[in-house]
């Protein structure tokens, strides 16, 4: 009989792969730390949200912010702390994908292939490194939950019922669309006859209790802050004034594009290296049940997305929203009975090549921005702006920012200040403080009307009577591109 694996068992040493992977993420962390002390949008948002520990922060659940606040308390308010959280979570995602594939296939080779296949998904190798927060944590917990679920179905041990409940709760308070993954996982498990008894066991009540223990405080907050919780519901564009068929068509197109963007590189690469015509070789029964679990979970998750389109007329899907579900695609691919690993080393080398290119391109598109016209938020000269604001007399106080990007960058420079912005919750501040009102004046020197109205709610003075000032600085890694900030400084000791 033809073997599904023509590499010798153990020929891929997972320990060596994990050491390479750890080094890869350490380099990502160091490059992010040394390339720029300016922030991306989601990073800046975390600088603002971590000003206070709360049970909720508007439309996003709080777990990532709690975790980030813990790292800030250890490493200080810094880019290093931001990058450390991100890269630890990504490493753990790879680890749990490996662990799930190993549990299902009992084969280190296929588990390694599943793990490095994440390097073929742009959402993992680029977007998650560039600027994602809650989606990264939600995916890490989803990967852990899948592993725990497989262990639960295999052993039925009490500790896995407890861990499954805790992971499910943690996933919900990390990213709300984790719920799609969780429901899909439960539906798929219930559909597999050999796994169904585990869900009907009385110990599942302990799982539910652990789940409620984790999520109840946040659910209470969400129920008492409904407006804040639903503040970004319009991003799904469910109430667009278009016909039913047109909304369905638009939703289906967006969903298809999101899936294609997520898997459009992985599936062709996998087929190129591994697909071979030939007689189908059935997997072992136990392995087949868990492969069926993952397959049906993916299908159930996509079906739930279709229901969102049909029932709620959701017309927008983004590839990053698919991350806590479609991360499991490499796990399923590794279980396919047609998968031959004759080209496993070639595929592994190809994945490493992609990883090295990303490792160079990600910092390179900031460092060589002037040469290739790839300016981005990391090129913004906030360190130079901060120095000029200190020269103007601001040391600490209350900063009222036009948006979270500017506000987060200024809090990095003035960590003892309180930053307020229209896009984030309002935090406590001392009234007897200096006030700094600041906005991006690169295109328009005038203070935006929205910022003026927002600032008027807080500032104990007539800001119209204070002339604005403009500061200018050259973008990082540039000699001719400049950016300007407008600001008004109100000193507490100046009438």
User: Is the C-alpha dihedral spanning 471, 476, 481, 483 positive or negative?
Assistant: negative
The reported pLDDT for the residue numbered 235 is: 60
Q: Give residues with Cβ within 8 angstroms of 461, minimum separation 6.
A: 435, 490
Q: How confident is the model at residue 10 (pLDDT cuts 50, 70, 90)?
A: very low
Q: pLDDT digit string (tens) for 406-436?
A: 999 999 999 999 999 998 988 988 878 899 9
- pLDDT for 239 beyond 80: no
- The position carrying tokens 């935090």 is 427
The reported pLDDT for the residue numbered 459 is: 87
Q: Give residues with Cβ within 8 angstroms of 249, minimum separation 6.
A: none
- pLDDT for 340 beyond 70: no
Q: Give residues with Cβ within 8 angstroms of 397, minimum separation 6.
A: 417, 418, 433, 434, 435, 436, 492
Could you give the percent of the chain with pLDDT greater than 90?
77
The reported pLDDT for the residue numbered 341 is: 65
Q: pLDDT digit string (tens) for 91-109?
A: 999 999 999 999 999 999 8
* Distance from the Cα of residue 453 to its chain's centroid: 32
**Averaged pLDDT of the chain:** 91
The reported pLDDT for the residue numbered 234 is: 63
For the segment 184-208, the average pLDDT, to the nearest whole number, is 97
- The position carrying tokens 């200190």 is 390
DSSP-derived letter for residue 314 is -
Q: pLDDT digit string (tens) for 270-291?
A: 989 887 765 444 455 556 899 9
d(CA 129, CA 148): 26
User: Is the C-alpha dihedral spanning 253, 256, 262, 263 positive or negative?
Assistant: negative
Q: pLDDT digit string (tens) for 44-84?
A: 999 999 999 999 998 889 999 999 999 999 999 999 999 99
- The position carrying tokens 């119209």 is 464
């Amino acid at each position: 009989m033809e073997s599904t694996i023509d590499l010798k068992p153990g020929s891929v040493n997972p320990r060596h792969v994990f050491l390479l992977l750890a080094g890869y993420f350490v380099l990502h962390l160091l490059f992010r730390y040394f390339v720029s002390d300016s922030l991306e949008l989601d990073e800046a948002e975390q600088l603002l949200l971590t000003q206070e520990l709360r049970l909720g922060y508007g439309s996003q659940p709080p777990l990532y912010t709690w975790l980030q606040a813990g790292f800030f308390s250890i490493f200080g308010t810094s880019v290093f702390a931001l990058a450390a959280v991100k890269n630890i979570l990504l490493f753990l995602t790879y680890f749990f994908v490996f662990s799930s594939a190993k549990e299902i296939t009992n084969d280190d080779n296929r588990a390694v292939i599943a793990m490095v296949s994440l390097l073929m998904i742009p959402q993992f190798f680029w977007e998650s490194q560039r600027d994602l927060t809650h989606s990264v944590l939600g995916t890490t917990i989803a990967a852990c939950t899948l592993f725990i679920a497989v262990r639960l179905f295999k052993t039925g041990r009490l500790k896995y019922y407890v861990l499954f409940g805790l992971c499910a709760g943690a996933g919900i308070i990390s990213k709300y669309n984790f719920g799609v993954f969780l429901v899909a996982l439960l539906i798929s498990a219930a559909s597999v006859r050999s796994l169904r008894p585990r869900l009907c066991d009385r110990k599942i009540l302990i799982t539910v209790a652990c789940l409620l223990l984790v999520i109840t405080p946040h659910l209470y907050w969400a129920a008492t802050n409904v407006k804040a919780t639903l503040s970004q519901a319009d991003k799904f564009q469910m109430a667009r004034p278009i016909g039913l068929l047109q909304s369905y068509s638009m939703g289906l197109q967006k969903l298809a594009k999101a899936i294609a963007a997520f898997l459009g590189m992985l599936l062709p690469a996998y087929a190129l290296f591994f697909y071979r015509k030939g007689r189908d070789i059935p997997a072992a029964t136990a392995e087949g049940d868990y492969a069926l679990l993952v397959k049906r979970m993916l299908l159930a998750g996509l079906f739930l997305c279709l229901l969102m389109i049909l029932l709620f007329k959701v017309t927008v899907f983004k590839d990053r929203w698919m991350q806590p579900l479609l991360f499991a695609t490499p796990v399923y691919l590794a279980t396919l009975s047609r998968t031959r690993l004759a080209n496993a080393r070639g595929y592994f080398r190809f994945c490493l090549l992609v990883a090295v290119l990303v490792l160079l391109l990600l910092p390179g598109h900031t460092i060589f921005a002037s040469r290739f016209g790839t300016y981005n938020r990391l090129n913004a000269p906030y360190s130079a702006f901060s120095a000029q604001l200190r020269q103007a007399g601001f040391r600490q106080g209350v900063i009222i920012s036009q948006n979270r990007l500017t506000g987060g960058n200024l809090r990095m420079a003035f960590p003892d200040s309180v930053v307020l912005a229209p896009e984030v919750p309002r935090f406590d501040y001392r009234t007897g403080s200096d006030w700094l009102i600041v906005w991006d004046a690169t295109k328009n020197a005038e203070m935006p009307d929205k910022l003026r109205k927002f600032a008027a709610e807080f500032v104990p003075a007539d800001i119209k009577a204070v002339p604005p000032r403009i500061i200018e600085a050259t973008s990082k890694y540039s000699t001719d591109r400049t950016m300007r900030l407008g600001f008004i400084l109100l000193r507490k000791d100046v009438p």
